[in-house]
Structure 1
Amino acid sequence: MLALAVVFINLALISYTIGVWSEKRSGQLQKKHLAFFGLGLLFDTVGTTFMKLLADSPALNLHGITGLIALVLMFFHTVWAIFVLWKKREIQIKQFHKFSLAVWILWLVPYSIGVALSFI
């Protein structure tokens, strides 16, 4: 199950990174970016669920707390992207990448902690 958790978390990293950086490069939010955000959220949720099932302790640690925050931010980010595309406000569509980059950077915190913990 650990191998599956690692695979899904890395699929989340790949999907979310493609979504965020392709949005940044294109200069505006598009439906294909939303699809990558959604895949990243799905993969992260599945990977996190596997990791939670493997956890020895129900207590939250730094990795667990930052991971939960990142997952909530990813969810909010994806829902907000849906709203922005639905409303079709041009300024928000062109400025959305700033929010995307911030969430992506914050998501990298628990990811990096997890990678570091794997070496301990």
Structure 2
Amino acid sequence: MLFFAVLFITFALIFYTLGVFGEKLQKTLKPWHLAAFWAGFACDTGGTALMSRLAVGQSTISFHTVTGLAAILLMLIHAVWATVVLKRNNQELMAGFHKYSLIVWLIWLIPYFSGMFTRMVR
């Protein structure tokens, strides 16, 4: 199960990074970026669910847990917001959206790396 959890989290990193930096390079939000955001969110949620099943019986409140839940919530808000922006087809909002995407991506990296480092220390 650990293998699949790590695989899902890694796919989340790949999808989310492609969406964020694809949007930044193209200087506007496009439907494929939105698909990458939702795929990243789905993979992160799936990987987190598997990780939580592995952690049964362990302390559930930690820096990694808190930042991980915050990151998933931010990813959800980000993907919903991107959906609304694309649906409204507002060029100004679409052009400026990448600034917020990068912030959410950077915040998402905190639990990604804290989980990796925590596991390596054990």
TM band (smaller chain): over 0.9
3-state secondary structure, aligned to 1:57: coil
State the alpha-carbon separation in 2 of the partners of residues 58 and 109 from structure 1. Answer: 19
TM-score (norm 1): 0.97
Percentage identity across aligned positions? 44
Equivalent residue pairs, number: 120
Counterpart-to-counterpart distance in 1, 2:28 and 2:114: 31
In the other structure, the counterpart of 1:92 is 93
Q: TM-score, normalised by structure 2?
A: 0.96
Provide the residue aligned with 1:119 in structure 2: 120
Given residue 102 of structure 1, which amino acid in structure 2 is its aligned partner?
A: I
1:24: how far off? 0.2
Structure 2 residue runs without a partner (length 5+)? none
Alignment of 1:38-49 (within 5 A): 38-49=38-49
1:34 maps onto 2:34 in alignment: yes
The Cα RMSD (Å) is 0.8
CA shift at 1:59, angstroms? 2.5
Residue matched to 1:13: 13
Unaligned runs of 5+ in 1: none
- Equivalents in 1 of 2:97, 2:68: separation in Å? 23
Runs of 4+ in 1 over 4 A off after TM superposition: none
Deviation at 1:90, TM superposition (A): 1.1
1:52-96 per-position Cα deviation (integer Å, ceiling 9, x unaligned): 001132521100000000000000000000000011111100000
